[in-house]
Amino acid sequence: MDWRISTPGGVGRVRGAWRSWLARRGTRFVHAAAYALPVAASAYDPRRGERVLSFLAWNRLVRPEHVLHPEPASMRALRRVHAEGYLGRLDRSKELTATLGYEPTLEMLDRLVVVQRTMVGGTMLALREALSTKRLIVHLGGGLHHARTDRGAGFCLFNDVAVAIASRREAGYRGRILVIDLDMHDGDGTRAIFANDPTVHTFSVHERPWDTTEALEATSVALGPGVDDDTYFSALERQLPAVFSAFRPQLVVFLAGTDPSVNDKRGHWRISDDGLLARDAFVLQLVRDAAGSPRLVITLAGGYGRDAWRPTARFLAWHLSGGRRLEPPATDELTLHHYRLLAEPLDAQRLRGIDKDEGDWTLSEQEVLGEVGAGRRQSRLLDYYSPHGVELALEQLGFLDRIRARGFDTPTLDFELDHPAGQTVRLFGDARRKTLLGELRVRRDKRQLPGHELLSVEWLLLQNPRASFTAERPRLPGQRHPGLGLLHDTASLLLLVCDRLRLDGIVFTPSHYHLAVQSERLLRFLHPDDQARFEALRGALEPLSLEQAARALEQRRVRETDTGHSVRWEPRPMVMPASERLRARMEGEDYENRRRQARAGFRFALHPEPES
């Protein structure tokens, strides 16, 4: 069978076929804001589904009305699969340590239960929609395939696919159901739940079996570690079409896990980007070609790291565009796209606090009370935004929802706009302004780089006072609390400010080495010599974790190779370009030449920790 994306015939065939399907029906998505709740699980990116939608929206491939929002599954629904005793034990964190790989705090546990119950609700909604509307339904969550009737496993508390199937059965649906599980891990939970059900075939291709219980209708293929495209495809080609012809499914649920990807943070396979795209296209084509036009639901399943959204986005964009290959951007760039898209409808007059009809100032409550300083000029942040306008923007851009998602129900802003050192915006987690989450001091700057106007970030603090330092997230110099996890979001919002005020970019001087490291994906040192020095330092500290590196610098363990002098952190300005001309300067040949020349002059070595 000739189906690979890399062969021109394959692309054409799939494309033509798929267009006609699309023309008939159209695709719908299922996603909930709750999925983006931060949960402490290593390498799991809660914003995966949201990023996929942002990318599709940016390419005008999905509209808000195409996204359905599920409710958390009821206890009644969960009981269709899960044992009463197990459900009753879910509020005890010690019980769940094995499932999750760590002992969750009660707050974290509550959050996890909400996220996963909503995912069960999402898969239930997806199956219902697929069967009633005959559309392709993509659930940007779910695929919790390890959960059993009486226990969780591998981070899965509930088996969403099993509950959704049980719910359809209770509603009277009798069709044959094929579950295609292409997550890198074994779909053992789903297989065990349906082991004695001849109407559900579970198909799983995985690294190693988690369970060897026999099932009436199951295909289980273990391929071992290090699998490449060829091995993967030949297994799929050998096994999957045969299941379609023998079992003749009427509903297909596809767990399109992206952890087989070579780029996955936890997977052990080497499937290429093209390979994953071809795999997903292959499954779609099998469904389309199958006798009886089976319905199809896709769920996300596994995929780890900040880039786990990209294979899914690539595939869905290919599908929705009728076969075009649209390469997803880097994750940081996507964050910016996401906010730009949301910022489009923001009205300049409302941001500035000018009433449209009156053409007059509309003062916020704080301004009326005189809390933000007297005088018209000082009542604007950066001579532009009214306090109310800032709050409005943060609300509409979804930023305040991210704060609420972290358990701070009443995010409250506070402005200090008439201070000579810069204007300060503070974000508190409570109405009484006791819990400080963020503090930003900014001003417009024309001196740092002659001929350019920059947004100077004099001070930026983002902290979560309710979180604790852990082995994975240790305390860094200058930190009282762990971070809020919103640095890139904040940087994107500041770039939107530059867009609106026509500033050339952001300038920020990191007071500590670790701040420069955390910013380096987004910012570069303004002067090429400083960039070169930072790179040399980074090179010397390479073998260490960020926390160890910060400590090594404080202990003066980095020395100049030639002189033996210890190297200190020297705060120097970093910039993030917003305008084309600043970008050209920062990425231009002059800058590069200077940086390369300077780089040769910095030779640093790391000295071992003193014996205690």
- Residues 491 and 339: their CA atoms lie apart, in Å, by 11
For residue 434, what are its two tokens? Answer: 């006791």
Q: Yes or no: say if 203 and 178 are a contact pair by the CB < 8 Å rule.
A: yes
**Residue showing tokens 């994107």:** 492
* Cβ-based nearer residue to Zn ion, 45 or 259: 259
User: Looking only at residues 7 through 66 of this chain, which bind Zn ion when binding is defined by CB under 5 A?
Assistant: none
Which span sits near Zn ion by CB under 5 A: 178-186, 206-214, 447-455, 523-531? 178-186
- How many Cβ atoms sit within 10 Å of the Cβ of residue 413? 17
User: Looking only at residues 509 through 568 of this chain, which bind Zn ion when binding is defined by CB under 5 A?
Assistant: none
Could you say which of 10, 152, 302, 305 contacts Zn ion (CB under 5 A)? 302
Return all residues near 7 (Cβ < 8 A) that are at least 6 apart. Answer: none
Find the shortest distance in angstroms from Cβ 335 to Zn ion: 25
Which span sits near Zn ion by CB under 5 A: 111-119, 176-184, 335-343, 551-559? 176-184
- Residues 334 and 124: their CA atoms lie apart, in Å, by 29
Find the shortest distance in angstroms from Cβ 369 to Zn ion: 54
Find the shortest distance in angstroms from Cβ 43 to Zn ion: 11
Residue 303 binding Zn ion, by CB under 5 A: no
Site string (403-442) toward Zn ion, x via CB under 5 A: ----------------------------------------
For residue 343, give the 3-state DSSP assignment. helix
Q: What are phi and psi of 401, to 5 degrees?
A: -65, -35
- Residues 523 and 221: their CA atoms lie apart, in Å, by 46
Find the shortest distance in angstroms from Cβ 249 to Zn ion: 23
Could you say which of 185, 310, 337, 338 contacts Zn ion (CB under 5 A)? 185
* Cβ-based nearer residue to Zn ion, 267 or 353: 267
Find the shortest distance in angstroms from Cβ 506 to Zn ion: 38
- How many Cβ atoms sit within 10 Å of the Cβ of residue 336? 21
Find the shortest distance in angstroms from Cβ 309 to Zn ion: 15
Return all residues near 225 (Cβ < 8 A) that are at least 6 apart. Answer: 207, 268, 269
* Cβ-based nearer residue to Zn ion, 253 or 497: 253
Find the shortest distance in angstroms from Cβ 204 to Zn ion: 11
Residue, CB closest to Zn ion: 302
For residue 507, give the 3-state DSSP assignment. strand
Find the shortest distance in angstroms from Cβ 190 to Zn ion: 13
Which span sits near Zn ion by CB under 5 A: 28-36, 184-192, 270-278, 515-523? 184-192
Find the shortest distance in angstroms from Cβ 67 to Zn ion: 25
Radius of gyration of the CA atoms of the chain, in A: 27
**Nearest to residue 92, comparing CAs of 114, 74, 109, 68?**
109
Q: Yes or no: say if 361 and 375 are a contact pair by the CB < 8 Å rule.
A: no
Find the shortest distance in angstroms from Cβ 259 to Zn ion: 4
Which span sits near Zn ion by CB under 5 A: 66-74, 179-187, 268-276, 445-453? 179-187
Site string (234-273) toward Zn ion, x via CB under 5 A: -------------------------x--------------
Q: Yes or no: say if 301 and 156 are a contact pair by the CB < 8 Å rule.
A: no
* Cβ-based nearer residue to Zn ion, 228 or 587: 228
Which span sits near Zn ion by CB under 5 A: 68-76, 297-305, 307-315, 453-461? 297-305
Q: Yes or no: say if 182 and 240 are a contact pair by the CB < 8 Å rule.
A: no
* Cβ-based nearer residue to Zn ion, 259 or 453: 259
DSSP string, 130-168: HHHH--EEEESS---TT--SS--BTTBSS-HHHHHHHHH
Could you say which of 183, 207, 453, 504 contacts Zn ion (CB under 5 A)? 183
Helix, strand, coil tally for the chain in percent (to 5): 40, 15, 45
Q: What are phi and psi of 132, to 5 degrees?
A: -85, -30
* Cβ-based nearer residue to Zn ion, 190 or 423: 190
Which span sits near Zn ion by CB under 5 A: 98-106, 119-127, 175-183, 457-465? 175-183
For residue 353, give the 3-state DSSP assignment. coil
* Cβ-based nearer residue to Zn ion, 264 or 445: 264
Find the shortest distance in angstroms from Cβ 257 to Zn ion: 5
Which span sits near Zn ion by CB under 5 A: 295-303, 549-557, 560-568, 594-602? 295-303
- Residues 127 and 144: their CA atoms lie apart, in Å, by 15
Which span sits near Zn ion by CB under 5 A: 294-302, 419-427, 429-437, 515-523? 294-302
Find the shortest distance in angstroms from Cβ 148 to Zn ion: 16
* Cβ-based nearer residue to Zn ion, 51 or 185: 185
- Residues 452 and 585: their CA atoms lie apart, in Å, by 11
Return all residues near 515 (Cβ < 8 A) that are at least 6 apart. Answer: none
C-alpha neighbours within 13 Å on the C-beta side of residue 44: 21
Question: How many binding residues for Zn ion (CB under 5 A)?
Answer: 5
For residue 530, what are its two tokens? Answer: 């400083």
Find the shortest distance in angstroms from Cβ 277 to Zn ion: 19
Q: What are phi and psi of 57, to 5 degrees?
A: -65, -40
For residue 593, give the 3-state DSSP assignment. helix
Pairing outcome for strands 360-361 and 67-68: unpaired
Interface ranges with Zn ion (CB under 5 A): 183-185, 259, 302
